[in-house]
Structures are given as structure tokens and as C-alpha cells.
Chains A and B, each alone.
Chain A
């Protein structure tokens, strides 16, 4: 599979402050890619560089096989973009803006009319005839997503697409993104972990201008899941948890409901060998012992926490 988007050693400095620091990214064509990071991590700056709205201090970006710095209209013709706060001409209606956007892409009148109707319907704006100046932020966000799809882009770039939406709007947008899987490459930035976990194939976690990790979601969870053991004993869970907590491989021990104990470990093999002995020494019955899976939120907190100075 070829890369729809590649960033290599990307840096961006504003007034002496390094906002992006050696960012490497590879987004496979047809995938739904989550670009996750806390506020101020550099997500919007990265998107500005990808769209050519700003220039990197160093490094290169290739979009659909072409260098963004030199490709110009050829690349933009295949992109769809939703900024974090989409701004429209307040005197236009939604239909007029869609037609304006489609005309800039050179779409035929028949195709444009058909897509405008379909996309406004999908965005929940069918039949809304008022001028955009009177729209709520959620309506603008949905129109922003609709206009980003008007040219049936090969690469759809979305900056915080669900941030202004109510739960139903958010669910609809995530459903829409999910439906594009395999047809369009979707790259979306967000700080909402649940959104990424729900629709993304791969994720990159950005913090203070650096990519901490990039991997398919299942691989990321598995990678960190190996560091967690979940067990359940029939009785004496508190004493056993205290004993486990004294072992050198135990990073943290948390008691769950009933007899369950959750252990984050630094040496999985050591833990697997010693835990049965500890259970036996405490004369308790082992109900369950398994490698637990960390959620994306825990992975995110762990990675971002680790990178704190």
C-alpha cells in the first residue's frame, strides 16, 4: 500500500520557539488516521504545513506522492480540508458555498448539483435556506465537513472535526468518517481519545511538537497491553496486592471490585513466574490471571506523562 501522506523530519519554528520538532509521519492510502495530542501539541500547525498554508522550517511533506512545496494546485485539487474553526462568507447560503467550492474544483454542473444535495443532506443541512451568518457553530462545522467532501478528495484532512458538535452530531460525523474507509484517506486531528479509538486504523500521538509514537491502534494497545496483568482471587486480595506491590517488577497495583487486582509491571515474565507462588503463599484461590489491555486513554496518558520534562 502506498503512502497518501509522508512527513519527514518536519520542524517549524515561530519566533525562536520550536513548535514542531522532527515530526515523521506516514499515512497509508485508504486508512483512517488519528492525529492525537493535547491542546498546543502542534496538530493544527502540522495541518497548516500539510495544506501549504505555512512552510516548514526544515523537512519535507509529500502528499499523494507530490512535494507540497512545489505541487500547488495539482495537490490541492485532490485534497479536502476542514480547518479547526471553519470560516465562511456570512452572506452566502450553504448551497451557494457548496456550489462556490465545487466550481473552484471545476466540477460539472450536474455532478455539483447532485453532490451538493447529497452532502448537505448528510450534514443535516438539507432545506436550510438561511445565510451562513446566522448558523450555530455546530452547523458551520457540519457545513465545513460537507464542503471538504465536495470534490470527493483522495485525502481528507480534518482539524478537530467533532469539537463543536453535540453527541448526535459527533456520532453522525464519526459514522461518516467510518463510511469513507477504503475509499478516501482520512487524516484527522483530535484530542478526543474516544473518537480515535472508535474509527481510526492507525494513530500518531503528538506532544509538544514531537511524535511520541505512531502505530496501528491494535498494535499500540497490544504493545502496552503486555505491561499489564489483571488477576482475580477468591479471598485475601488485599494482602496479596500488598505482597505484589513489594516485588521489584510491580510498577503499580490497583484493587478492583471483589477479588480483582490490576498490576502494571515492568517485567512481564518475572511477574508471570512469581504471581502463582505468591497466590499459593497467601493460601488463596486463583480465579483468573490474564494479560490486560490498556485503553488508548491509558496509552496516551502514559506516553504524554513520560514525555513531561
Chain B
């Protein structure tokens, strides 16, 4: 898939050049979050866009990663990199185990079960005050460090976060083009047909769920170390919905779409500052309108619009 690789290289170069265009400043900080949100959106998209399985609990896995990193490094002084890797594997395994009963469910039931799971995790963050600090949060999480380089500025964090984001995106692109990707799309279209053709649908769904959760955990660790402070409010039901919105707006099944969705939803509040808390109304409306008028998301919707506009001109 030469074309895909070329596309990815273009994207990677563009990402590396962004800091020069911004020349530091406030937006730099926002772009770090675009990176973290892109990781999360890509992870959810693997599950939702490729395998067609919804999750309304992904903020929970994100939070588990953040809290594992936060607690083990801030309270117990463990090595942040080891914790990040270990947490990702452990949370992936947990997701693998609970994935079997959860992914047996379909459609609305799956949505409700994952939602319930997310809320249970959120309640645990709030109630285990001795460990997590409860609703008032967990401060004092150290910055990440390689040798003498401490990732304590927005610029350094930008390269750190985006380096990992690009790896995750490349992985997702490759996965989509692989045998597994094709099997997942088959499950998406018809699980029964996929199984008839010899795809182990049940195992594959659970595996992708576990992978998705593991990636979310890495994003969580990155979030904890760049923010140095976390509180349960960042990992609630609303954030799960925001992630879902990113994936849907960007385009189901498209890695670059996830980036677009993440970028749009992360930058938008900065420009909608005048709306204060009311931006949530806007999200709801956006979500509904996108499903109604552009169910393929921005990556498919915009080219369609352009084509239509061009067609109309050509016809006249």
C-alpha cells in the first residue's frame, strides 16, 4: 500500500512542522491535546468504525491509564515509562476478560453495558479517596523524562505526544489494510456472514476491544504526565460522548477522519469561548445534524459536497 504510506508521510511531516507555524504560544498547548484526543479517537474508531461495535465507556479506560500512571508515579515513585507500558498491557488484559461477556451484546444493549462500565469506573475514581484523591483530584504527577530531557514545556510535549500519536495512527492504518482489517469490516457488515466465511468473530471483536482499551490507557498516561494533575471529571460519561462525537464527525472507519474530528472538537471550544458552558448544546446539535446529513463524517462528506458543487457548475 504505497499510496497509504505516502499519505502518512505527508501527514507526519505536516505534523512536525506545525510548531514552526504556531511559534509557541497558547495554541501550542491545545495542539498537545489534539494529539492525545487523536489517539483516543483512533482507538475508538478501531472498535466502532472497523468492527462496528459501539462503546460509551472509553473514557473509563482513558481514566484507568491516567490514574494508574498518576498514582504509581506520584505516590509510589515508580518509573513512568514502565508504568505506562505496564498499565497499557494490564488494562488491555482487563478489557480482554470483560470483553467476552460485553461484546456478546449488540447494538443498544452493548451501548448501555459499556456505558454502565464507564460509569462504574468513574464512581470508583470518585470514591477511592485514599488512592485517587477523590473528586478533588490527584496533583503532583511528574513530567516524563528521557535521560536529561524533561518534557516540561508544551513544545517538548508536542513532539512526545505526536510521536506516539503517529505510531498509533500508522498501526491503525496498517491494521485496516491487513487481513484482520478485512475481517473486521466483514463483521461490521454482517457478523453471521463473517462467521460463515471462517472469521472467528467473537474472539476478534474482543481482541480489538482489548487493543482499543490498551491504546486509550497510553493516551491516559500521556495525559496524566503532561497535565501533572488529574481529576475524575475528565473521565466521565460526557467525555465518552465527546470521543464518540469526534469519531462520528470525522468519519467512521477513517484514521485521518479521527484526527479531523479530534482536532475540530478540541479546537472548537477555544473559538467558542464566548459560549461558556453552553458549548454542550452545540455538541448535541452537531452530533444529530452529522448523523442526519453527513453520516459518513467529514472525510467523506466534504469531498461529496465538493463533487456536488462541481457537478452543478458543470451542468449549468
Chain A complexes with chain B: no
Residues of B within 8 A of A (CB): none
